Amino acid sequence: MDVHKREVVARVVSTGPDGTPSKAIRAFGTLTPDILALADWLTTQEVSHVAMESTGVYEKPIWTLLEDQFELLLVNARHGKAVLGR
């Protein structure tokens, strides 16, 4: 997830039964109802792990609302952009 002051952009990459990758991208606001909608969407996408970029204080409320439902990873933006197959 890419966390900004007023927006969170989530990208889910999954592999289909035939091995074909598929991507789903959605943007959400940063208010509590928006973050809860993000959690619902991630659940429907069968997400278990979430990586978000370290952005100072902006990720803290998102972390708090998602930590009970997902395995969260806080990553350096430089390292997240260099992932193979991104």
User: What would the pLDDT profile of 42-75 be if each residue is shown by its tens digit?
Assistant: 999 999 999 988 777 888 999 999 999 999 998 8
Query: Is 86 a domain residue?
Result: no
Query: Is 50 a domain residue?
Result: yes
The pLDDT of residue 79:
60
Query: Is 16 a domain residue?
Result: yes
Q: How far apart are CA 38 and CA 36, in angstroms?
A: 5
**In contact, 23 and 46? CB cutoff 8 Å:** no
Query: Is 64 a domain residue?
Result: yes
For residue 33, pLDDT over 80 is answered with yes
Query: Is 10 a domain residue?
Result: yes
The sign of the dihedral angle between the CA atoms of 49, 46, 64, 30 is positive
Closest CA to 35 of 10, 72, 71: 10
The residue range of the domain holding 44 is 2-81
For residue 18, pLDDT over 80 is answered with yes
Tally of domains in the chain: 1
The pLDDT of residue 77:
67
pTM of the model: 0.82
- pLDDT mean over 21-42: 95
What is the DSSP code (8-state) at residue 49?
E
Q: Which residue has the tokens 């990758």?
A: 21
- The winner for highest mean pLDDT among 1-10, 36-45, 71-80 is 36-45
Query: Is 67 a domain residue?
Result: yes
**In contact, 50 and 71? CB cutoff 8 Å:** yes
